[in-house]
Amino acid sequence: MMASNIKRIDIDMKELETILDRARDGTLDEEGYKKLKAALETLGYLTNLIGEKNTTIRRLRNIVFGPSTEKSKSVLENLPAAAESPKTKEAEQAATPAKDHESKDNKKPKGHGRNGASAYRGAKKIEIPHESLKPGDVCPDCGKGKVYHGKVPAYIVRLVGCAPISATVWKLENLRCNLCLKVFTAHPPEGVGTKKYDETAGSMIALLKYGSGFPFNRLEKLQRSMGIPLPSATQWEIVREVAGIVEPAYRELIRQAAQGEVLHNDDTSAKILDMMKSMRERKARSPSDPKMRTGIFTSGIVSVRDGREIALFFTGNKHAGENLSDVLAQRAAELRKPIQMCDGLSRNLPKEFEVILSGCNVHARRNFVDVADQFPDECRHVLETFQALYENEAMVKKQRLSAEERLAFHKAETGPLMEGFRSWLREQLDEKKVEPNSGLGQAIQYTLNHWEPLTLFLRIAGAPLDNNVCERILKKAILHRKASLFYKTENGAHVGDLFMSLIHTCELCKADPFDYLTELQRHAKEVAATPQNWLPWNYRENLNQSESLHRGPP
């Protein structure tokens, strides 16, 4: 039984004892049966978890009570107060400039308050001229001055509800001769055409399904309730057709990602029903085959090149490292080895290509967060050290330093901090202050074993601190998995990967995914001929140039 299948029900022991008494007397009602059933399911699930070797008390606590936040402020507040923080001089020196900078700039962050009229980029714009005045007219009030446009226009914003896929029905009048029986049908308005589903319909369905995790059957129910039926089978036919049109842009996106300077990768579990069935059949034929792979994954890859991020998704039985190898197979031979950011799992590494490995500091930090309750003083020092590290990185981003300037800054400010931290970690094990097999000892050992990748940002310009950007895009795949549960076929998984890659690359590049998918369909021939001109970050520029050429000189 999966944890996600268990619905949380709050119940105390007295209520449970009362339910058991009613069960004994034969007077158990439906509500009591559900609670008793839930209690037994929870007991069975937890019993199975306890039998697994990787299960920790903290994991059980997170399952039962929900995971807590890993933010330093929340974790440190829950730890017992220390008489004197064990932070080293180096840590204090590195943390001081960041904190001073933070205190000077304590402005309210953007994004609070009401949205202005300029925020409604996709709204229909209608300009209303003044009914009696125009610029340059004499002021009707004083009769002396002249009126001109004000600095701030007046706006009225009106939001209306409608179905995600709307429809228009043109009723064409039919006239028939009563003698010769010839039929005369009214001509449709110009531009209507004969196509039932507009390009925008395919874009919206793909955006709802693969961008927002809205299943086909849920959209079918919504459309039917609003009087515009759109069966789920029809939705699939539409997005499958659109996928074939935009496929060249997706292939070019993969080629562009292969040239990246930094590549992040990770994966999460997935389900493809046809593949699961074939795997079961193969396992039944060869149950003792050690090379038999039974897992299915969605791999997320984020490629960074010239400050631009590209998101890619691949769903199948390959691990993240194998999918990264497939991408790097298209890398230009003259380029230097890329930096690869991932966690410590060996399956995330590409076997056929050399990379410069960078470790995820968030994964290393999480090991200490997991044991903070048992080792509060030691973990307080570790978390404060990581906090100082990320304060320095925040300063780098705020000042918009170049990769070389960032490297010089971290060498000067963060280098002493990390060196002092490394000495402290070694001291805990060398002087036997910590049991090596304890949770804290294992966290320390992990950090020391991966020290070179974890501190790559101190030696190579552009090396990232963590793999958060990849984990964030994988949340998109997890959202789709929670809503739709599975793909039926490998082709369905490919269509999902294609749309999620295009949609989430648009989001990373601050492009409009709905407009992008629509324009790809409307310019299918150009996309097939020159896909490099139809990527999320340059399609608008090429589209504007194309339109200006068609208009000709003024």
92: pLDDT strictly greater than 50? no
Give the end of a domain, one of 423, 442, 466.
466
Q: Is residue 237 part of a domain?
A: no
DSSP 3-state of 267? strand
Q: How far apart are CA 221 and CA 208, in angstroms?
A: 14
- Domain total of the chain: 2
Kindly report whether the global pTM for this prediction surpasses the value 0.95. Answer: no
Give the list of residues 6+ apart from residue 469 with CB closer than 8 angstroms, or none.
264, 302, 309
460 domain residue, yes or no: yes
Is 90 exceeded by the pLDDT of residue 374?
Answer: no
The band of 446, judged by pLDDT with boundaries at 50, 70 and 90, is very high
Say if 512 falls within a structural domain. no
- pLDDT band with cut points at 50, 70 and 90 for residue 130: confident
Mean pLDDT of 77-100: 50
Residue 83's identity, in one-letter code, is: A
Which pLDDT value is given to residue 21? 76
pLDDT reported for residue 225: 93
Domain boundary among 410, 438, 466: 466
The answer to whether position 89 is within a domain reads no
* Residue 47 amino acid letter: T
- Residues 6+ positions from 413 with CB-CB distance below 8 Å: 94, 97, 392
Give mean pLDDT, residues 359-374: 89
Residue 267's DSSP bridge partners are: 299
Report how far residue 492's alpha carbon sits from residue 432's, in angstroms, rounded to the nearest whole number: 55
Flag whether pLDDT at 338 surpasses 80.
Answer: yes
Sign for the pseudo-dihedral over CA of 279, 280, 283, 285:
negative
Tokens representing residue 390 in the block: 């990320």
Q: How far apart are CA 107 and CA 535, in angstroms?
A: 36
Asked whether the beta carbons of 259 and 335 are under 8 A apart, the reply is yes
b or e along 193-204 (b: 16 or more beta carbons within 10 Å of the residue's beta carbon)?
eeeebbbbbbbb
Task: Tell whether the model's pLDDT for residue 81 goes beyond 90.
Answer: no
Q: Is the pLDDT of residue 26 over 70?
A: yes
R_g (Cα) of the chain, nearest Å: 30
In a 13 Å sphere around the CA of 173, the CA atoms on its Cβ side amount to 2
Closest CA to 174 of 164, 162, 183: 183
Q: Find the range with the poorest average confidence among 387-396, 529-538, 540-549.
A: 540-549
* Average pLDDT of the residues in 523-537: 94
Q: β-strand 297-305 against 262-269: which pairing, if any?
A: antiparallel
- The rounded distance, in Å, linking the Cα atoms of 543 and 549 is 10
**Considering Cα of 364, then 369, then 371, then 377, what sign does the dihedral take?**
positive
Residue 337 · residue 356 · CB < 8 Å = yes
The verdict on residue 196 lying in a domain is no
Two structure tokens written together for 172: 């064409």
Q: Which residues partner with 316 through β-bridges?
A: 297
pLDDT average, residue stretch 333-339: 93
In a domain, 56, yes or no: yes
β-partners of residue 175 are 184
Tokens representing 437?
């097999």
Domain residues for 455? Answer: 361-466
Assigned domain for 527 exists: no
398 within some domain: yes
Residue 75's identity, in one-letter code, is V
Boundary of a domain, candidates 434, 466, 498 = 466
